[in-house]
A and B are shown apart, each in its own frame.
Chain A
Amino acid sequence: MAKPEPETWGEVPGSMEQAAITTRYTFLDYIRSRRFAILLIIMLVISAILTFVFAYKRPVEALVDPLSFYSTWWGMSATFVVALSGIFFGGDAISSEFQNRTGYFVLPNPVRRSSVYVGKFAAALIAASIILVVFTLITVANGVYYFGFTVPFAFWESAFFDWVYLLAVLGFAFLVSSSFKSGAYSILVSAIFLLFAFSLIESLVEDLAGIEPWFVLSYASQIVGNVLDASYPAHVQTIPEMFGAHVITLTVYNVGVGEGLVILLAYFVVTSALGLYLFERKEFN
């Protein structure tokens, strides 16, 4: 059968361009949505609490030098902000297309599902990166207030690692959101994993099984805090601890920087690919 002749309209754009189109409109939707505002407020509240605690309590150990400051402030909060961003922007990115029926508007067009997936991922990444950049700026502003412009290089490393962690978190959240057709379930499941379950699995594996939890996302994310320690912790530490009359040796694993980056990137690649595969196969019914 003959191919349809080209119309007077320009040809359908390439898949990368369509991904960029998806990004533009999804980002517009994110920026206007209430959840962007809510996340921004949560992040500002966390910043305000930290600012207040440092300004009025002046914790001595945290203010001995710039590294301790960044380690305390950023080490306590950076991965949490990333996990929240992942839940907010990725938690129902794909499931909402089914539940809110927006997929019926966009997908019966000459556009591949992969373009929509990649485009939405990029939009979520940009929105979450904005939150992360604002949080970084507030952190540095406080650091500058106490120590002047001597921001330790380790902090920039840590900020970069946190952003790599964001890639992994969004990959994971997109995978979860591709597994459900209900936005509420997918947000709930990614929240449970990113806020509790990964840490729980990590400590169970480490403490009870005594093996290195290299396959757990939260384990890899520790490079964000570790790199801010005065000296990077040893890979394996054995700590004797008293349980009543017994002495038990606990084995503690600390993820190395290279190892952590590899795990985070592997999470990003594997979960993104798996999520896309699920989305491609999912039916609108």
Chain B
Amino acid sequence: MSNPSLEAVGLSKRYGTFNAVSDLNLKLEGSKCVGFLGPNGAGKTTTLKIFTDLIRPTGGHAFINGANVHTSKKQALAHVGTVIETPEIYSSLTPREGLSLICAHRGVPKSERRKKIEEVIEEVKMGEWIDKRTGKFSKGMKQRVNIASALLGDPSVLLLDEPTTGLDPRGMSEVRDIVKALKSRNRLIFMSSHLLGEVSEVCDEVAMIDHGKLLVYDTISNVTTKFSKGGDTVEVGLIRPLGAGVLEKSVASIANVTSAERMDDRNLRITFTGGLASQESILSELAKLNIGVVSYRPAISGLEDAYLDLIKETL
């Protein structure tokens, strides 16, 4: 199979004089997960809607797997799964029927439909509800079925707009696992989200957008090194107040620590570089210092730091 790809060329969407998306140029290619970040109203949903021909751009073009989304919609979307803006199934249909409709449109052979539908419904843990009408489902249940529908027909590209909204904590983590599993099977996933933890957990790269303009597109580690001031931060809880000078002399000089400050008597904040590897080595160094560490947890991730640095204001 050729590499899945997604490309925006000079993509713009204007409403009157307001630019919801302006001159977006972005090319994603290969098997990976790309997080799509930006404040409310930045233009994320607008971009994803253009990529599914739900709205037309006022300028530029969108391509999926090389096909223009607007002029060759069937070719462009033949291998694409989407969840955009909490869709609804006709309320009198059951998940099984709603998903058969999608299978039929996508050309999943009749003989495989039943198995495939039960498989994806099982993946989102809705097996018990497969033959109940969707009209009375809760928001999160509907969203689970929507995610199942995006997996039908083995799409090579997935476009997900805040896929975990409305899901309970377990649902969120299950969806993250689904996305992570998809990545390993030559899938290109483009996913908008406000949950930076989620993005750093499942995504390899991020695209950040603000006021309709692309700010940065790079791997998460590059974005983090380039834009976050000091890398990751951990908060350290102590059982007793720290002795005089220990912070400056011992803690600050542990390898990879860029700064160490006292928040109060029993809490320190340490900023460091080097990701998880140094997070682990710093902890073992702290333990060796015998200063009474009782807790050690990440506070601000590098990604969050970079986000806050790049995006200064909301709206």
Where the two chains meet, the residues of A that have a C-beta atom closer than 8 Å to any C-beta of B are 1-5, 7-13, 15, 18, 21, 25-26, 28-29, 32-33, 100-112, 283-285
Contact = CB atoms under 8 A, between A and B. Distances in A.
Given A2-B2, A9-B153, A102-B89, A108 B84 contact: yes
B92 interface: yes
Contacts of B263: none
B54 interface: yes
B105 A105 contact: no
Interface residues of B, number: 52
B66 A104 contact: no
B93 A29 contact: yes
Given A26-B90, A102-B88, A105-B149, A4 B105 contact: no
A4 B84 contact: no
Given A4-B79, A285-B49, A111 B105 contact: yes
A13 B103 CA distance: 10
A136 B308 CA distance: 70
A106 B105 contact: yes
Contacts of B107: 9-13
Given A283-B54, A284-B49, A4 B77 contact: no
B293 interface: no
B105 A110 contact: yes
Given A9-B107, A102-B89, A283-B55, 11 more contacts: A1-B65, A9-B106, A9-B154, A12-B78, A28-B92, A29-B91, A101-B88, A102-B90, A108-B80, A110-B74, A283-B54
B77 A110 contact: yes
B1 A104 contact: no
Main secondary structure on chain B at its contact with chain A? loop
B22 interface: no
B52 interface: yes
Contacts of B54: 103-104, 107-108, 283-285
Contacts of A7: 1, 79, 153-154, 156
Contact of A104 (B63, B88, B104): B88
Nearest to B50: A283
B55 A285 contact: yes
A29 B91 CA distance: 8
A253 B49 CA distance: 52
Main secondary structure on chain A at its contact with chain B? loop
A10 to B, nearest CB: 5
Contact of A1 (B66, B85, B97, B108): B66
B101 A25 contact: yes
Contacts of A2: 2, 66
B109 interface: yes
Contacts of A108: 52-54, 77, 80, 82, 84, 159
B233 interface: no
A113 to B, nearest CB: 9
A109 B154 contact: no
B177 to A, nearest CB: 24
Contacts of A21: 101, 104-105
A247 to B, nearest CB: 60
Q: Which 9 A-B pairs give the minimum distances between C-beta atoms?
A: A104-B87, A1-B66, A108-B52, A105-B87, A284-B54, A32-B92, A4-B65, A283-B55, A108-B82
Interface in B86-136: 86-93, 97-98, 100-102, 104-109, 112
A3 B78 CA distance: 11
A25 B89 CA distance: 11
A265 to B, nearest CB: 31
B281 interface: no
B56 interface: yes
A12 B106 contact: yes
B5 interface: yes
Nearest to B159: A108
Contacts of A28: 92-93, 97
